[in-house]
Amino acid sequence: MAAFWGVFRASEAAPSRAWPQMRLAGVLALWLLLSPLARANCECGYAASVGNDTEQQVFTDLLETDFTRVSDMSLNTDWARQAFNLTNERARGRHGEMFTVSNARSNPDRDRVGRSGIGLNSEPAGLELVVGSNKMDGMVPVAEVDSARMDLLWGTFRVGMKLSGVPGTCAAFFWYHNDTQEIDIEFLTREFNASNGTFPVNLVLQSRAAAEAGYNAQATGNFRKVNLSFDPTKDFHEYRIDFLAGKVVFYADGKVLAEMGGAAVPTQGGHLILQHWSNGNPLWSGGPPPRDAVLTVSYVRAYFNSSTAARQRDWASRCRDPGAPGAVCQIPSIPNVRNPPFFSAMSNMTNNQTVSSDPGPGSKPAGESGSSTRLASGVSLVVVVAMAMVVLGL
């Protein structure tokens, strides 16, 4: 540091018109050397316990979407509505499937400040995924949205959903790499029976063994049918997938439903899919539904590690001290489905994260600091420069 200050002393012996600029440059360099990097909360990640383990798992990246605040899905950069057709042979059903963007429609909360839970169309607020009752060109109109991020590897993925009570559809929330690396939560509305309290959920690992069995995961041991303790058509509930190396845990409203492991657990990065469909297969979706069926999604909260080297480097550059206060943020273990917490809606908790530019929680692309971090950094610079100008007589 003496050598650094020596630059100033040596220069004072031979002042020139460039001297003020040189001194200011020196002040800026001094600030960079002495000032610690502006710290953001959660810079090292987001922590959760998995299953019955007490050990905390830390995930570096997040994907949070409050669909009750999304007014136009075409503007949302975190999710992409899908448009494609499947023949009945490809769909493995009696009918083909026509995925259309118009069947994935926004219904934002009519209360722009609070959270009424009621959308502009007087139905529950959120993203509506519709299965039509009238076929088009021999295909059932259905809906799907996919996450833009394709690099989700190990994570905890949570969704708030209210299911349709119309029989003949399949509502699904799943992680997908390919047809042999897939983690599914699927609801078959034809299986619901309110009279005897039957509301099963199908939990599936699609693997190479399942593909060899004709995509029948029930023949592989990586399939569970669990009856829920509530009617999923009456209200929103949170469904969750925890995906770790060699282990997958499924939940409903924070309670463990099943755990699976072994060679069927995926090993590559993938993406999240929200889907509502029907193809007339009597062994699965049934249908088509007798009237239009609506699955409503209120939110997705996903915390994960990236499979890409670039995002791994981003984490390494921002996480200087994992043990520092606030460096790792705790993901609430008890769901608050009516008023879910979003780190991206808080100040300075999603630095260097990818968050949709659509109005709602957050608006920062990856690689860009949060506004609070930039503000703190700028204030620090102003203070240091002002003090240095007084001391150095600038």
For 337-347, what is the mean pLDDT?
A: 94
Average pLDDT over residues 159-178: 99
Token representation of residue 295? 């699955």
* Per-residue pLDDT reduced to its tens digit, 175-220: 999 999 999 999 999 999 999 999 999 999 998 888 888 877 787 8
Residue 318, phi-psi category: left (phi > 0), alpha (psi -120 to 50), beta (remainder): alpha
Average pLDDT of the segment spanning 329-348:
95
Taking residues 256-280, what's their average pLDDT?
A: 97
- Percent of the chain residues topping a pLDDT of 90: 72
Per DSSP, helices labelled H in 199-340 are 208-212, 309-318
Mean pLDDT in residue range 15-25: 45
For residue 336, how far is the Cα from the chain centroid?
16
Output the pTM of the full model. Answer: 0.82
Taking all residues of the chain, what is their mean pLDDT, rounded to a whole number? 85
Cα–Cα distance measured from residue 386 to residue 341, given in angstroms and rounded to the nearest whole number: 39
Task: Give the DSSP letter of residue 311.
Answer: H
- Would the pLDDT of 34 be above 60? no
The pLDDT of residue 362 is above 50: no
- Write the Ramachandran bin of 56: left for phi over 0, alpha for psi from -120 to 50, otherwise beta: beta
The alpha helices in the chain, defined as continuous H runs, are 2-12, 19-34, 88-91, 208-212, 309-318, 371-392
Task: Check if the beta carbon of residue 25 is closer than 8 Å to that of residue 295.
Answer: no
Strand partners, 274: 145, 173
Q: What is the pLDDT of residue 167?
A: 99
The residue count of the chain comes to 394
Q: What is the mean pLDDT of residues 38-54?
A: 87
Q: Are 11 and 19 in contact (CB under 8 A)?
A: yes
Q: Where are the beta strands (DSSP E) in the chain?
A: 45-49, 56-59, 61-66, 79-81, 84-86, 96-99, 104-107, 126-131, 139-147, 152-162, 170-178, 181-188, 200-206, 223-227, 237-244, 247-252, 255-261, 271-277, 293-306, 328-330
What is the C-alpha separation between 66 and 58, in angstroms, rounded? 22
**Chain segment 230-255, per-residue pLDDT in tens:** 999 999 999 999 999 999 999 999 99
Rounded mean pLDDT of 327-345? 96
CA separation for the pair 207, 181 (Å, rounded): 5
Q: Which pLDDT does position 113 carry in this prediction?
A: 85
Q: What is the pLDDT of residue 66?
A: 97
What pLDDT shows up at residue 169?
Answer: 99
Place of tokens 């040596």: 10
Higher-confidence position of 372 and 72: 72
Query: Strands across the sheet with 328-330, in order?
Result: 56-59, 45-49, 328-330
pLDDT confidence band for 162 (50 / 70 / 90): very high
Fold exhibited by the domain 61-306: Jelly Rolls (2.60.120)
pLDDT value for 1: 40
In one-letter notation, the amino acid at residue 59 is: F
Out of 104-118, 201-215, 274-288, 334-348, which region has the weakest mean confidence (pLDDT)? 201-215
* 119 in Cβ contact with 108 (< 8 Å): yes
Residue 256, pLDDT above cutoff 80: yes
Domain ranges of the chain: 61-306
The yes-or-no verdict on residue 342 having pLDDT over 90 is yes
Q: Is the pLDDT of residue 316 over 60?
A: yes
> What per-residue confidence (pLDDT) applies to 65?
97
